[in-house]
């Protein structure tokens, strides 16, 4: 299945009756023909480029030579008021389902590896947003912060957000993940599913849930979790944990409680290793012990491969980086929670379209004896954004335009660094640059002075 077929499917999906039904807040919305219409509104929102609404309108309608059909920003906001943000998760589900059912995609040993992780976003500090997204409290500068909680299920091999939920900051990561599980299982119904997560998710009821659904997992554990059992393991071994009614009654899902009462026991593989096994420690850095919980077979997955597997979980952090810093999903044009959710969720679909195009571009990237290369995702996103208005409005040119984007993107490449599992921030440098921008146009990193040194920080 070609990337052209995927984009053509997405194009047709925007006009599908089911899309209209989910998008309407009221049954009588989006039933009359208008300049914009529902498909036009959705295409406009996908084509956001990080500018004011007036500039976005000019960019969008100029993109396919339709300035004579342009609308006012008031018309955009009025149409958005009629739109339910739920249409974007629905469109993402349909797009991902089509991709997995009709496309060759990457796996790890035949497993579809999905990282689960949480993050927080930014929203305006207004009473409406505080009610919808919660209040994180005072910032260090005594300003209040409104930070929606984000929970993502990310295919680490293909760079796709299978499911992304945005809710109140008061909602914990684990309950959000449970709510997303049904959708993820429906999407990956025929695949061997392998879930990766950090120590915020090492809950016994979740392990029972995975066992109940024939899933595989590899989670980082806390040292005090199953503490007595962990003492039996030096580097790699299996533990058997028994559960009484008092423990089982704390489980959050009725089905999981019922399953746990029948089985009463979990068999979990424990992997222990020191941080120094995977990276060179900095001066005075503690050689922390890392504990992994998994149900992957010892025969199929040796200890070293499990350690490498868990390291791949870091790729979801790069996914959030793409959403927040390259697609700028938090760059919003309204203070209303519903419209904020629309704008944030719309960029998840753009992220996934870019990831699917990148897979094709990577196939024609030219490598060298020294490095293997991949498409620079930042450059690809700029290319895609510049061409989305035309791509989503001129169906007859989709194939031709995609070929141009893929060929151009493949020329702007970067070396693959497989062992880069940790962020590049928090690094000390001798002297910072006095310039705001580099010669290549990129911004120099923010610097914080610490004693006689300078620390590179994420701005």
Residue 451 has pLDDT above 80, yes or no: no
- Structure confidence at residue 422 (pLDDT): 43
Mean pLDDT score of the chain: 88
386 token code pair: 């510049």
Residue 204 has pLDDT above 70, yes or no: yes
Indicate the pLDDT class of residue 33, thresholds 50, 70 and 90. confident
Q: Select from 184, 458, 183, 176 the least CA-distant residue to 320.
A: 458
Residue scoring higher pLDDT (135 or 171)? 171
Q: Strands 192-197 and 111-120: what pairing?
A: parallel
- Structure confidence at residue 193 (pLDDT): 96
Q: Select from 293, 344, 349, 351 the least CA-distant residue to 318.
A: 351
CB distance 332 to 339 below 8 Å: yes
pLDDT tens-place string over residues 85-121 = 999 999 999 999 999 999 889 999 999 999 999 888 8
Angle separating helix axes 377-391 and 37-46, nearest 10 degrees: 160
User: SS3 for 313?
Assistant: helix
pLDDT tens-place string over residues 335-356 = 899 999 999 999 999 999 999 9
Residue 142, Cβ density class (10 Å: 0-12 exposed, 13-18 middle, ≥19 buried): exposed
As beta bridge partners, residue 413 has: 375
pLDDT tens-place string over residues 368-392 = 888 889 999 989 999 999 999 999 9
- Structure confidence at residue 332 (pLDDT): 84
For 211-215, 265-269, 431-435, 446-450, which range has the lowest pLDDT when averaged over its residues? 431-435
User: SS3 for 97?
Assistant: helix
pLDDT tens-place string over residues 411-447 = 998 888 765 544 455 666 767 776 666 655 566 777 7
CB distance 41 to 79 below 8 Å: yes
Residue 315 has pLDDT above 70, yes or no: yes
219 token code pair: 């989670």
For 231, 244, 271, 273, 295, the CA distances from 298, given in Å and listed in that order, are 19, 28, 11, 16, 9
| Domains of the chain as residue ranges with CATH | 87-317 (3.90.350), 427-457 (no CATH)
> Which residue spans within 175-235 are E strands per DSSP?
192-197, 216-221
For residues 223-236, average pLDDT: 88
What percentage of the chain reaches a pLDDT higher than 70?
92
* Type and span of the H or E element at 50: none
Residue scoring higher pLDDT (294 or 330)? 294
For residues 45-69, average pLDDT: 90
CB distance 315 to 147 below 8 Å: no
As beta bridge partners, residue 165 has: 151
Angle at 76 between CA 71 and CA 81, to 5 degrees: 150
């Amino acid at each position: 299945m070609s990337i052209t077929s995927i984009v053509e499917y997405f194009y047709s999906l925007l006009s599908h009756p089911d899309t209209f039904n989910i998008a309407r807040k009221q049954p009588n919305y989006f039933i009359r023909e208008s300049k914009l219409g529902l498909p036009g509104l959705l295409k406009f929102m996908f084509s956001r480029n990080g500018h004011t609404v007036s500039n976005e309108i000019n960019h969008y309608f100029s993109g396919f030579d339709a300035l004579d059909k342009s609308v006012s920003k008031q018309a955009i906001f009025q149409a958005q008021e009629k739109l339910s943000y739920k249409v974007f998760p629905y469109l993402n589900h349909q797009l991902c389902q089509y991709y997995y059912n009709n496309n060759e995609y990457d796996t790890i040993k035949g497993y579809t590896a999905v990282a689960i992780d949480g993050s927080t976003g930014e929203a305006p500090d207004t009473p409406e947003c505080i009610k919808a997204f919660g209040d994180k409290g005072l910032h260090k500068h005594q300003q209040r912060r409104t930070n929606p909680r984000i929970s993502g299920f990310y295919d680490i091999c293909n760079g796709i957000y299978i499911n992304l939920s945005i809710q109140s900051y008061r909602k914990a990561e684990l309950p959000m993940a449970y709510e997303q599980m049904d959708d993820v299982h429906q999407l990956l119904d025929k695949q061997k599913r392998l879930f990766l997560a950090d120590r915020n998710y090492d809950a016994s009821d979740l392990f029972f849930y995975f066992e109940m659904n024939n899933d595989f997992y590899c989670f980082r554990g806390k040292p005090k979790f199953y503490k007595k059992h962990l003492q039996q393991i030096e580097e790699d071994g299996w533990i058997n944990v028994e559960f009484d009614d008092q423990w089982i009654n704390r489980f959050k899902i009725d089905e999981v409680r019922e399953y746990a009462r029948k089985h009463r026991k979990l068999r979990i593989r424990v992997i222990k290793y020191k941080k120094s096994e995977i990276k060179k420690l900095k001066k005075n850095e503690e050689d922390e012990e890392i504990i992994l919980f998994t149900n992957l077979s010892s025969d199929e997955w040796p200890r070293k491969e499990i350690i490498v597997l868990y390291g791949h979980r870091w790729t979801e952090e790069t996914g959030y980086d793409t959403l927040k810093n390259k697609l700028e999903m938090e760059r919003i044009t309204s203070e209303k929670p519903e419209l904020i959710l629309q704008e944030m969720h719309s960029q998840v679909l753009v992220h996934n379209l870019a990831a699917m195009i990148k897979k094709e571009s990577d196939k024609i990237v030219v490598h060298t004896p020294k490095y293997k290369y991949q498409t620079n995702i930042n450059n690809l996103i700029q290319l895609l954004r510049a061409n989305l208005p035309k791509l989503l409005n001129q169906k007859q040119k989709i194939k031709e335009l995609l070929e141009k984007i893929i060929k151009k993107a493949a020329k702007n490449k970067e070396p693959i660094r497989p062992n880069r599992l940790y962020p590049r921030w928090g690094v000390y440098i001798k002297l910072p640059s006095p310039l705001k921008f580099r010669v290549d146009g990129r911004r120099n990193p923010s610097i914080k002075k610490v004693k006689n040194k300078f620390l590179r920080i994420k701005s």
